[in-house]
Amino acid sequence: MTRRTSRRTLGLALALLPLLGLSPARAQEGEVVRSERESFRLTTFATGLERPWGAALLPDGRLLVTERVGRLRLVGRDGAVSAPLRGVPEVEAASQGGLLDVAVAPDFDRTREVFLCQAMLVQGGALTRLVRARLAADGTALEAVTPLLDATPAQSSGRQHYGCRIAFGPDGRLFLSTGDRNVDRMRAQRLDDLAGKILRVDREGRPQQDNPFASQAGARAEVFSYGHRHPQGLAFNPWTGSLWSSEYGPRGGDEINIIRPGANYGWPVVTHGVNYSGTQISDRKSAPGMVDPIHVWTPVVSPSGIAFYDGQAFPGWQRSLFVAALNAPGLVRLTTEGDRVVAEERLLFDRRIRMRDVLVAQDGAVLVLTDEASGRILRLAPQ
């Protein structure tokens, strides 16, 4: 091969990189990591985020990313991070609270609607709040910010266990997770209380007439399932249509659950864990009328955001559920068959990076938000 031919070949290869969604610099950076089914190149896609918590993919490939301290930013397809958006609602950014999840409406192209979940301080204490807004045409602000639903009653003490993950169902209705708030655990069992639940509402925050407790006296019509401790992951299985949830246990007993209408998932009547002091919470791990998890971790991994892999970049990861883990920190890959978990693989646990959320990009790469003061978005892409 002549020097001229070599240069032409190199030039052609570099010209093809943008078509593959890569820059010449990105194509060469990062580290190749080998896993059971796939090898991937690990790179840092974006930096300069303070405690990023949730992310949503826009139709044009950009990301909306929340920072727990109360900021919302746009991240470009090249990883560039915008200035904080204007018009973001005030939040209660204490302990585990703040600006938490963000989701994009299924018809965002037409409405530009986005939905936020946040911790909010109101008269009587703090609670989980669902908010709707519209992303301005220039992407610099939120407009028409409207509170839709408060997970009442407010709680005067404690700033933990807000839950706060959002998922849209195939029919366009919205599901929201709420935590038990970690003071009165039995809130999760009370149907007149919105703590410790999975809620189902429309885009106005209204309960659905076919919700399981909509016509039951003394029950909140928004409740879809109950008996949850602190669910921080929600995702629909694209192959079965079922709703999956990740849920923190106490000391032991982290869970993956499949959410069924009207089901009681047991907390704190049943649990696979104990108090952090080591004392017993319950002597039962299962009970009649209560739904068992399909997967349990003891010791815990502190499972946060989850995402099913349906991209084309990694054929070996098809039908996997990715789980962002905080402690022990890393990324968990669960192999699924229908509505069963059949195997588990742990990725990047040797890096000791707390991971808060995970999503699949348009090009099939896996993006992971790190729970750090100098937070990042990591990118797992083909070599």
- Residues in Cβ contact with 52 at an 8 Å cutoff, skipping those fewer than 6 apart: 65, 66, 67, 68, 356, 357, 369, 370, 371, 375, 376, 377
**Range with lowest mean pLDDT among 22-31, 46-55, 92-101:** 22-31
The two tokens of residue 180 are 């038990």
Domain with residues 30-381, CATH architecture: 6 Propeller (2.120)
Q: Collapsing DSSP states into helix, strand and coil, what is residue 7?
A: helix
- Which pLDDT tens digit goes with each residue over 256-292? 999 999 999 999 999 999 999 999 999 999 999 999 9
45-71 average pLDDT score: 98
145-155 average pLDDT score: 98
Question: What percent of the chain is helix, strand and coil (3-state, nearest 5)?
Answer: 10, 40, 50
Q: Which helix (H) or strand (E) holds 256?
A: strand 254-259
pLDDT beyond 50 at 248: yes
pLDDT beyond 90 at 23: no
**Range with lowest mean pLDDT among 2-16, 66-80, 152-166, 219-233:** 2-16
| Dihedral sign, Cα of residue 248, residue 233, residue 289, residue 188 | positive
Query: Model confidence at 14, in pLDDT bands (50, 70, 90)?
Result: very low
- Which pLDDT tens digit goes with each residue over 73-131? 999 999 999 999 999 999 999 999 999 999 999 999 999 999 999 999 999 999 999 99
pLDDT beyond 80 at 11: no
158-180 average pLDDT score: 97
Q: Which residues are marked as active site? A: 161
CA nearest to 200, candidates 238, 170, 240: 170
